[in-house]
């Protein structure tokens, strides 16, 4: 089944799998991640990139379902990576995304574009990235961006501006909430939970994962809590004309938020 734009827009967990490790493709697909991203870029050394692309294409031909993180425009592998995605109807994640004709062409040719914002220039041009035809959501590349800024990738204060820019630009363009970057602490669930809570509070709707063990925490963390769903049921059940529920004002934006919560699927629902 080819990933649909609606599925990407609603997804909470996005799991990277290295493109040169085809033995891990099926395991990633079985992880319950909403979207699997086969990575042809950072995870793959230059000498392995052609082989990784062939492995990804073979898996797709056998019925695999994924997005492809292609190598960026201007690299030796970009055109072949993009052609593979187009041939198999794959959405693409474009690293070091910069607004301009090259990205517009990717958006036009593929079935869904996720610009990965991981440079200061990309952050400053977030509105243009979100407005690029074909863009479904934008994602934060916190590791590369932090390196450019001279900060640690887990420094929430250093990346607060970047995260807010993506949230505001996405909302202004009418896109789904952006996707937060990775948590590099692979064995610390508390750190991951804290990162998820922080991103969700800022207005993110999902997160990139680098290990299957992160997927359940991310999926559950971005799902509406039972208290949120209970509140939403009360608001929606009160009807359109009600002006307050439980001592809180209810107007059209509040009602719309309640309906969005009701429409969101729980982490244990398919």
206-209 vs 13-18, strand pairing mode: parallel
What is the number of structural domains in the chain? 2
Q: From CA 111, how far away is CA 89, in angstroms rounded? A: 6
CA dihedral (117, 120, 122, 123) positive or negative: positive
Question: For residue 137, what are its two tokens?
Answer: 């959501």
User: For 32-46, how does the pLDDT look when each residue is reduced to its tens digit (9 = 90+)?
Assistant: 999 999 999 999 999
Residue with tokens 């979100």: 130
Q: What is the DSSP letter of 169?
A: H
- Is the domain of 127 the same as that of 47? yes
Domain that holds residue 74: 5-222
CATH label of the domain that carries residue 134: 3.20.20.60
CA distance from start to end of the chain: 15
Tell me the three state secondary structure of residue 127: helix
In a domain, 270, yes or no: no
- Is the domain of 165 the same as that of 240? no
Is pLDDT at 6 greater than 80 in this prediction? yes
- Is the domain of 109 the same as that of 148? yes
Q: What is the DSSP letter of 247?
A: T
- Is the domain of 42 the same as that of 146? yes
User: For 147-171, how does the pLDDT look when each residue is reduced to its tens digit (9 = 90+)?
Assistant: 999 999 999 999 999 999 999 999 9
- Is the domain of 167 the same as that of 138? yes
Q: From CA 27, how far away is CA 17, in angstroms rounded? A: 9
- Is the domain of 218 the same as that of 234? no
DSSP-assigned states of every residue in 41-80: STTS-GGGHHHHHHHHHHHHHTT---EEEPPPTTSTTHHH
Residue with tokens 């959405």: 91
Residue with tokens 């991203």: 37
pTM: 0.87
Q: Label residue 189 by pLDDT band (50, 70, 90).
A: very high
The whole-number pLDDT of residue 241 equals: 64
User: For 47-77, how does the pLDDT look when each residue is reduced to its tens digit (9 = 90+)?
Assistant: 999 999 999 999 999 999 999 999 999 999 9
The whole-number pLDDT of residue 266 equals: 45
Sequence-ordered list of residues with C-beta below 8 angstroms from that of 217, at least 6 positions apart, any chain:
189, 192, 193, 196
User: For 90-142, how does the pLDDT look when each residue is reduced to its tens digit (9 = 90+)?
Assistant: 999 999 998 899 999 999 999 999 999 999 999 999 999 999 999 999 999 99
In a domain, 268, yes or no: no
In a domain, 132, yes or no: yes
pLDDT average, residue stretch 212-239 = 80
Is pLDDT at 20 greater than 70 in this prediction? yes
- Is the domain of 167 the same as that of 243? no
- Is the domain of 46 the same as that of 143? yes
The whole-number pLDDT of residue 261 equals: 74
In a domain, 269, yes or no: no
In a domain, 9, yes or no: yes
């Amino acid at each position: 089944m080819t990933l649909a734009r609606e599925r990407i827009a609603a997804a909470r967990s996005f799991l990277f799998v290295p493109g040169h490790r085809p033995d891990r493709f099926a395991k990633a697909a079985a992880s319950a991640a909403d979207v699997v991203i086969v990575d042809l870029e950072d995870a793959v050394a230059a000498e392995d990139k052609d082989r990784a692309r062939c492995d990804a294409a073979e898996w797709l031909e056998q019925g695999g379902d994924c997005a492809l993180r292609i190598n960026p425009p201007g690299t030796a592998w970009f055109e072949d990576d993009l052609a593979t995605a187009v041939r198999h109807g794959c959405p693409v994640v474009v690293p070091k995304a910069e607004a301009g004709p090259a990205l517009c062409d990717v958006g036009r040719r593929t079935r869904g574009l996720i610009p990965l914002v991981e440079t200061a220039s990309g952050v400053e041009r977030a509105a243009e990235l979100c407005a690029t035809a074909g863009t479904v959501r934008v994602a934060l590349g916190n590791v590369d961006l932090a390196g450019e800024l001279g900060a640690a990738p887990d420094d929430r204060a250093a990346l607060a501006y970047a995260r807010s820019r993506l949230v505001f630009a996405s909302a202004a363009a009418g896109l789904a909430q952006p996707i937060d970057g990775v948590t590099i602490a692979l064995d610390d669930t508390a750190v991951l939970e804290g990162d998820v809570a922080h991103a969700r509070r800022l207005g993110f709707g999902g997160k990139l994962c680098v290990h299957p063990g992160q997927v359940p925490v991310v999926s559950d963390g971005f799902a509406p809590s039972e208290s949120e769903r209970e509140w939403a049921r009360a608001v929606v059940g009160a009807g359109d004309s009600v002006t307050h529920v439980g001592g809180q004002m209810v107007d059209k934006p509040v009602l719309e938020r309640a309906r969005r919560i009701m429409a969101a699927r729980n982490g244990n629902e398919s």
